[in-house]
Amino acid sequence: MQHEHEDSTAVASSRRHSPKQSGLRMKQQKIHPKLEQALTRGDLAIRQANSARATAVLNALGKMIVEASSTIGVEASIDIPQGERIYDPANGLWPQRMRVSFDGPVEEADEEELRSVYLMADDPGTMFRVEWHRADGKLGRHEGGPIATVAFLTDVEMPWGDDDA
C-alpha cells in the first residue's frame, strides 16, 4: 500500500511542479497498445502515400520528357529504379531518382551521359532538381518547375511556362 501512495504522490507532485522543482523524475506514460498500433500504422500509410506521390510525380514528368523529345525527333528513355520502395525526404529531396537518357535505353547508356532528376521535398510547389556530369568533371545542377525542367532537358521550346499553367 505504501508503494501505491508514493506513486500517486509523485504524479500529483509532478502536476504541481516541474520535474526539476519537485526533484522527482517523471514516469513514461504507458501507451494503449491499440493507440500505438493505430498511430504506427497510420504513420506508415502516410509515409507510403507521400513516397508513392513523389514517384508518381517523377513518372508524370518522365512522360512529359519522352513526349516532348519525340516532337523534335529525339528518343528519350527514363527509369526510376526502386521507385516502389517507401522513402522519406532527405536533405530537401525525395530519394527517388529518375534517370534520363537521350542516347538509347537508360540501362545501356553510359552513366556519365545520364541526367538524374529528383523531386524537391521542401518546396510547397512542384519543383525538380536535375543533376548531370559536366564536361569539366564537375556536377551540374538545374532547378525548376515541371515545364522549365522539360524545356531544360529536351531543348524543346515550350508554348507556356510554369507560371502560366
pLDDT score for 83: 83
The pLDDT mean for the chain works out to 86
Residue 15 lies in a domain: no
Percent of all residues in the chain with a pLDDT value above 90, rounded to a whole number: 70
The Cα–Cα gap between 153 and 97 comes to 15
Question: Which pLDDT belongs to residue 30?
Answer: 87
Classify residue 117: in a domain, yes or no. Answer: yes
Res 82: pLDDT: 85
pLDDT > 60? residue 10: no
Tell me, what's the pLDDT at 165? 62
Over the stretch 69-115, which tens digit does the pLDDT of each residue have?
999 999 999 999 888 888 999 999 999 999 999 999 999 999 999 99
For residue 37, being part of any structural domain is answered with: yes
Residues of the domain holding 51: 33-154
Residue type, position 95, single letter: P
The per-residue DSSP string of 103-128 comes to SS-GGGS-GGG-EEEEEBSS-SS--E
Per-residue pLDDT reduced to its tens digit, 16-36: 444 444 445 556 678 899 999
16 or 151: whose pLDDT is higher? 151
In a domain, 87, yes or no: yes
Q: Is residue 164 part of a domain?
A: no
Q: Do the domain assignments include residue 14?
A: no
Q: Which of 30, 48, 52 is nearest to 40 (CA)?
A: 48
Q: Is 66 exposed, middle or buried (0-12, 13-18, 19+ CB in 10 A)?
A: middle
Residue 161 domain-assigned (yes or no): no
